[in-house]
Amino acid sequence: MDKSLIEKQNGNFANTLLGEVIACYDEDTFLIADGFDEATMRLIYSVSKCIEILMRDMSEEEAMEHFSFNVSGAYVGDKTPIWCQDNFA
């Protein structure tokens, strides 16, 4: 999506983190909560995708343990990522 299109469609999103994220995807990928653009905090990571990435070099059990202790369990201050538990199987 072209950044100028973001400016036209979403007002002040163009120079925000939300605007940068939106610019990487098709315009119908996200449903934006109207009026809450200032509430955007940081990026959200898919836990299941992170585990898949780690499993390129280790077993599923090792990947889950590594992720739990070394990735999601690490607090790195106010900019600590948000981990979305999206593996509901």
pLDDT at res. 55: 96
Residues 50 and 75 placed together within one structural domain of the fold: yes
Domain assignment present for residue 89? The answer is no
The residue segments making up the domain with residue 31 are 3-39
For residue 54, the 8-state DSSP code is H
- 40 or 47, greater pLDDT: 47
Its pTM surpasses 0.85 = no
As for how many domains the chain has, the answer is 2
Residues 6 or more apart in contact with residue 49 via CB below 8 angstroms? none
Q: pLDDT at residue 9 above 70?
A: no
Whether the pLDDT of residue 11 is over 80: the answer is no
